[in-house]
Amino acid sequence: MDNRLLSLGHGYSARALAARLVPEGWHIVGTTRHEAKMDEIAATGVEPVLWPGTDLEVLIEEFPNMLISAGPSVDGDPVLNALRGVVTSSAASKHWVGYLSTTGVYGNHMGGWVDETTALTPSTKRGAARVQAEADWQSIPDLPLHIFRLAGIYGPGRGPFAKVRAGTARRIIKEGQVFSRIHVEDIASALELSLEAPNAGAIYNLCDDIPAPPQDVIGYAAELLGVPVPEAVPFDAAEMTPMARSFYAESKRVSNKRIKAELGWKPKYPTYQSGLTALLEQSG
């Protein structure tokens, strides 16, 4: 296999994948919008490219594998808006294309289970934008597209511990509210498996095995740290930003059975308890 990967929007999940692939000899080019991040990306063994600001047409034509992490805006998918022509013309030459989406495309199911066959009924503008972006990528003929719908991501540098330590974490209680989550290392392992066994047109949910109420996660983090569990705050009485409140507009349990069956994926952190415990141990 040609071990070259173009990572468009080289963010948190893409960096976790690169950490697995670079030691295996992969040549990865990662784009960023921020010049200040160029050295940080280069230090991981990934070749950084500033975009917008650099012509990517030659890279898109030449690289057989692409990972798209850049999210859509109100104007649509930024990669396709700028580069649809070259993506379309080079589609048939690609080995693997991965698009990182979100389980927000399913909308609110009042705590019920969803899988990849569930109708897409987003209840937020962000979710609707992702549905449209998925459709736009799917519309490109001959593109070996793989869509990964990610649950709430956590991992090194992203988790509840900082807020719990600072005393700013809150256990917000909304009756029946559950979320699914995914450790970033488990995202990376799933992407690597897919690269090794492409299945054009595949759609996979990426989440752990145990959906849980958000207040349980905060409470467990406090127990691990040996600090008092933050007090419970009713959702209706909680002061929250519109963005934070929007996450509570949807409640669902996400199934990961398909990717386990098709790719043999086994999450290293199948529960939030195992994931948070490992994070704390790794951080010292």
What local confidence, expressed as pLDDT, does residue 239 receive?
Answer: 87
3-class SS of residue 265: coil
Mode of pairing for the β-strands spanning 27-32 and 113-114 = unpaired
CA distance 152 to 136: 23
Q: Is 243 a member of any domain?
A: no
Q: Which pLDDT score is estimated for 97?
A: 98
Give the distance from CA 146 to its chain's centroid.
13
The verdict on residue 193 lying in a domain is yes
User: Contact at 8 Å (CB) between 86 and 59?
Assistant: no
- For 48-60, what is the mean pLDDT? 94
- Comparing C-alpha atoms, which of 153, 101, 115 is closest to residue 252? 115
The arithmetic mean of pLDDT across residues 224-232, rounded, is 93
Residue 44 lies in a domain: yes
Q: Is residue 160 part of a domain?
A: no
With vertex at residue 240, the alpha carbon angle to CA 239 and CA 244, rounded to the nearest 5 degrees, is 160
In a domain, 220, yes or no: no
Mean pLDDT of 199-207: 98
pLDDT at 243 over 90: no
State how far the Cα of 144 lies from the Cα of 97, in Å rounded to an integer: 6
Q: Which domain holds residue 130?
A: 4-153+183-208+254-268
What is the distance between the alpha carbons of residues 29 and 42, in angstroms, rounded to a whole number?
Answer: 9
Whole-prediction pTM value? 0.96
How does the average pLDDT of the chain come out, rounded?
A: 95
**Could you tell me the CATH number of the domain that includes residue 60?**
3.40.50.720
Work out how many domains the chain is built from and give that number.
1
In a domain, 233, yes or no: no
Instruction: For residue range 114-145, list pLDDT tens digits in order.
Output: 999 999 999 999 999 999 999 999 999 999 99
